[in-house]
């Protein structure tokens, strides 16, 4: 393999791909890019500074006493470096993200434009309330839509993400139980729930017990009922669940838990499958978080705090967190203290200092208003239609463990059953990269061995789904035939297959130049 003067190497010999070697490691417009330290030098900068005389410092012991060690680049070098890296990144603007339970869908550019409007993008949490009335009204508007769509009693807008919302809901449940002098110790979590559910329950101080799934991939109602008792604070259930299936016994589950004195938390991460079609409040749910980035098209974790509002039943509304927004007269106020006799009167306290995720609220509001109630119902319909199209299109070549359980919801689940020659889910996923697609969620949920969870979302066209199906079908047929070349995938990616075990156990987090690294060995 050719090595350039800087010492960096392409990811793999170009000759292995039948394309011939190049001096640079570049392959046409797929440009190889070394690290910053391999391009620039710590002995120079990209800007000329006038030599200044040493000046007195007020940093004291905090003054830097050794070189910072950053490589200096000119402006063109820096711009090219990050542009080339961006070309090696997969994005929703390039193609389908089939990640199950993540809803990596297209974010309309309208939402992005609205989020950058002056008055939303540049406000500060410590501004006087009378200068942010529009922002408070927008947060109240989003809350109103959430209550209308869920049929719940009140909403807490301050949680920053899904797991944060789960904690909010459990703290409300804990506060409600303690208020009636009935503190309990156990939270029941079905096998088909999201992995954050048991983690959040444990973090909140509860002992977690699993409830098995039945053969159809849904909650075993009899097993749940048999475990209910005076020590059970409640159940955390994901509906639609992580197998991509709706829980038809949801109302019966809620009734049974309530009869036993417990409360019901529903993980609303998959609300996009039922938005506008099913109101969780009608199913007896007491608390549910809603991931705005999943259902209402705000970016998935990018650019600042996320948003996981929590809708609450009438039984839990008095215990909701502070602060909250309330309409008073012609304006809105930010209530930061408990108000005796009114809702939130027994608040468990704060989870955050401010409603800091303004960009998320603004994008969600734009999405809600541009779709309307009927449009949001179509979002659910199209998400479910796309998932079932993928499920039935691949059912003949990929094992679909719950295909006989009826239609799936927003995501389809497959397994590596039937693969030959020691091939498995990981090999299929790596080969999918060579086809230009991001892999689906792998090995989750745990109830399916070698699971592959595919969520096409409602924003994908039939043409894009057909292309994805064709690629997946081709790879699956090779896997069933025991094609060992899949073990080498990906071949055409900027980097070859990594040693994921070594990367997890011995991560290299600090750059060392080759000479220093060799000396250390």
Q: For 41-89, what is each residue's pLDDT tens digit?
A: 888 887 877 887 877 888 888 888 888 888 889 899 999 999 999 888 8
Same domain, 239 and 347: yes
Of 366, 401, 418, which one is at a domain's C-terminal end?
A: 366
515 falls within a domain: no
Instruction: Of 51-55, 293-297, 457-461, give the lowest mean pLDDT range.
Output: 51-55
Given pLDDT bands bounded at 50, 70 and 90, which one contains residue 20? low
- What percentage of the chain exceeds 70 in pLDDT? 93
Given pLDDT bands bounded at 50, 70 and 90, which one contains residue 494? confident
Same domain, 174 and 242: yes
DSSP assignment letter at 233: E
Same domain, 353 and 386: no
178 falls within a domain: yes
Same domain, 165 and 189: yes
Return all residues near 231 (Cβ < 8 A) that are at least 6 apart: 184, 185, 186
| CA 471 and chain centroid, separation | 25
Q: Residue 326: which H helix or E strand, with range?
A: strand 324-328
- Look at residue 235 and tell me whether its pLDDT is greater than 90: yes
Same domain, 143 and 238: yes
Return all residues near 452 (Cβ < 8 A) that are at least 6 apart: 398, 413, 414, 415, 416, 425, 428, 429, 440, 441, 442
SS3 breakdown of the chain: % helix, strand, coil, rounded to 5? 40, 10, 50
Long-range (24+ apart) CB contacts under 8 A made by 126-131 are: 129/332, 129/333, 129/334, 130/331
Q: Locate the DSSP E strands across 76-161.
A: 154-156
- Look at residue 224 and tell me whether its pLDDT is greater than 60: yes
Long-range (24+ apart) CB contacts under 8 A made by 218-224 are: 218/192, 218/243, 218/245, 218/247, 218/248, 218/249, 218/405, 219/190, 219/192, 219/247, 219/249, 219/253, 221/249, 221/252, 221/253, 221/256, 224/188, 224/190, 224/253, 224/256
Packing angle of the helix pair 133-150, 358-394 (nearest 10 deg): 30
- Look at residue 29 and tell me whether its pLDDT is greater than 90: no
Same domain, 301 and 415: no
Spatial distance between the Cα atoms of 201 and 187, rounded to a whole number of angstroms: 7
Distance set, CA 311 to CA 51, 94, 143, 149, 439 (Å): 60, 35, 9, 10, 33
- Mark 383-409 as b/e (b = at least 16 C-beta within 10 Å): bbbbbbbbbebbeebbbbbbbebeebb
| CA 3 and chain centroid, separation | 39
Distance set, CA 8 to CA 2, 231, 238, 401, 510 (Å): 10, 61, 48, 46, 16
| CA 170 and chain centroid, separation | 20
Amino acid 520: pLDDT? 67
What tokens were used for 312? 């609450």
What tokens were used for 269? 């991460």
Spatial distance between the Cα atoms of 269 and 295, rounded to a whole number of angstroms: 8
Same domain, 269 and 226: yes
Bridge-based pairing state of the strands 186-190 and 207-211:
parallel
257 falls within a domain: yes
Given pLDDT bands bounded at 50, 70 and 90, which one contains residue 428? very high
Packing angle of the helix pair 358-394, 462-480 (nearest 10 deg): 50
Domain span at residue 119 reads: 110-366
Instruction: Of 52-56, 328-332, 397-401, 458-462, give the lowest mean pLDDT range.
Output: 52-56
Q: How many domains does the chain have?
A: 2
15 falls within a domain: no
CATH at residue 432: 3.90.1150.10
Spatial distance between the Cα atoms of 286 and 264, rounded to a whole number of angstroms: 5
Same domain, 403 and 451: yes
The single residue listed with the structure tokens 């008073």 is 328
88 falls within a domain: no
Task: Specify burial of residue 521 (Cβ count, 10 A radius: 0-12, 13-18, 19+).
Answer: exposed
29 falls within a domain: no
438 falls within a domain: yes
Handedness of CA 398, 402, 406, 412 (dihedral sign): negative
What tokens were used for 28? 């046409």
Which of 142, 187, 176 has its CA nearest to residue 317?
176
Same domain, 394 and 353: no
The single residue listed with the structure tokens 């057909």 is 466
Amino acid 23: pLDDT? 82
Long-range (24+ apart) CB contacts under 8 A made by 13-22 are: 16/491, 17/491, 17/492
CATH at residue 245: 3.40.640.10
- Look at residue 13 and tell me whether its pLDDT is greater than 60: no
Amino acid 67: pLDDT? 81
Question: Which residue did the predictor score with more confidence, 250 or 35?
Answer: 250
Same domain, 224 and 320: yes
- Mark 156-179 as b/e (b = at least 16 C-beta within 10 Å): bbbbbbbbbbbbbbbbbbbbbbee
Amino acid 487: pLDDT? 96
Given pLDDT bands bounded at 50, 70 and 90, which one contains residue 200? very high
Bridge-based pairing state of the strands 452-454 and 441-442:
antiparallel
Instruction: Of 75-79, 146-150, 506-510, give the lowest mean pLDDT range.
Output: 506-510
Instruction: Of 99-108, 240-249, 419-428, give the lowest mean pLDDT range.
Output: 99-108
Contact 410, 382 (CB under 8 A): no
DSSP assignment letter at 266: E
Amino acid 343: pLDDT? 55
Handedness of CA 472, 473, 478, 481 (dihedral sign): positive
Q: Maximum distance among all alpha carbons in the chain?
A: 80
- What percentage of the chain exceeds 90 in pLDDT? 65
The predicted model gives 243-261 an average pLDDT of: 97
Spatial distance between the Cα atoms of 24 and 13, rounded to a whole number of angstroms: 12
Handedness of CA 345, 347, 353, 359 (dihedral sign): negative
- Look at residue 403 and tell me whether its pLDDT is greater than 60: yes
Same domain, 288 and 180: yes
- Look at residue 409 and tell me whether its pLDDT is greater than 70: yes
Same domain, 339 and 361: yes
Q: What is the dihedral of CA 315, 318, 321, 325, to 10 degrees?
A: 110
Spatial distance between the Cα atoms of 81 and 213, rounded to a whole number of angstroms: 49
Torsion angles phi and psi, residue 442, rounded to 5: -115, 145
The predicted model gives 202-214 an average pLDDT of: 95
500 falls within a domain: yes
Contact 490, 497 (CB under 8 A): yes
């Amino acid at each position: 393999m050719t090595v350039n003067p800087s010492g960096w190497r392409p990811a793999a010999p170009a000759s292995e791909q039948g394309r011939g070697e190049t001096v640079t490691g570049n392959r046409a417009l797929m440009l190889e890019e070394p690290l910053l330290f391999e391009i620039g030098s710590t002995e120079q900068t990209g800007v000329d500074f006038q030599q200044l005389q040493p000046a007195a410092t007020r940093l004291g012991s905090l003054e830097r006493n050794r070189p910072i060690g950053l490589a200096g680049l000119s402006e063109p070098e820096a711009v090219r470096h990050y542009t080339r890296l961006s070309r090696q990144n997969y994005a929703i603007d390039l193609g389908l993200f089939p990640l199950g339970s993540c809803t990596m869908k297209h974010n309309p550019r309208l939402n992005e434009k609205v989020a950058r409007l002056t008055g939303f993008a540049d406000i500060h949490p410590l501004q006087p309330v009378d200068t942010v009335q529009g922002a408070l009204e927008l947060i109240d508007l989003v809350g109103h839509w959430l209550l209308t769509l869920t049929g719940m009693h009140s909403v807490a807008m301050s949680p920053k993400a899904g797991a944060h919302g789960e904690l909010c809901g459990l703290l409300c449940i804990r506060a409600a139980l303690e208020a009636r002098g009935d503190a309990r110790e156990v939270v029941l979590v079905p096998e088909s729930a999201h992995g954050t559910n048991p983690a959040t329950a444990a973090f909140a101080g509860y002992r977690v017990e699993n409830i098995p799934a039945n053969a159809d991939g849904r909650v075993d109602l009899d097993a749940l009922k048999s475990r209910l008792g005076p020590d059970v604070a409640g159940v955390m259930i994901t509906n639609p669940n992580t197998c991509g299936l709706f829980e038809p016994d949801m109302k019966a589950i809620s009734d049974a838990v309530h009869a036993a004195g417990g409360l019901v938390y529903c993980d609303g991460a998959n609300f996009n499958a039922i938005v506008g079609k099913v109101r969780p409040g009608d199913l007896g749910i007491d608390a549910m978080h809603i991931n705005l980035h999943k259902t209402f098209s705000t970016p998935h974790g990018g650019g600042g705090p996320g948003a996981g509002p929590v809708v609450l039943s009438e039984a839990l509304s008095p215990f909701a967190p502070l602060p909250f927004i309330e309409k008073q007269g012609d304006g809105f106020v930010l209530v930061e203290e408990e108000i005796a006799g009114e809702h939130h009167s027994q608040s468990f306290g704060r989870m955050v200092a401010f409603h800091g995720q303004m960009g998320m609220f603004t994008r969600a509001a734009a999405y809600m208003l541009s779709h309307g109630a009927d449009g949001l119902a179509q979002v659910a319909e199209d998400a479910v239609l796309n998932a079932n199209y993928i499920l039935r299109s691949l059912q003949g070549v990929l094992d679909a463990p719950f295909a006989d359980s009826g239609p799936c919801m927003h995501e389809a689940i497959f397994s590596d059953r039937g693969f030959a020659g020691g091939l498995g889910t990981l090999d299929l996923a790596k080969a999918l990269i060579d086809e230009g697609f991001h892999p689906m969620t792998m090995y989750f949920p745990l109830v399916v061995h070698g699971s592959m969870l595919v969520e096409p979302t409602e924003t994908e066209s039939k043409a894009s789904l057909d292309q994805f199906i064709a690629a997946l079908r081709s790879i699956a047929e090779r896997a069933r035939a025991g094609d060992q070349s899949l073990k080498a995938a990906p071949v055409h990616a900027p980097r070859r297959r990594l040693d994921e075990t070594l990367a997890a156990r011995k991560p290299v987090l600090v750059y060392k130049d080759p000479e220093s690294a060799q000396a250390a060995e």
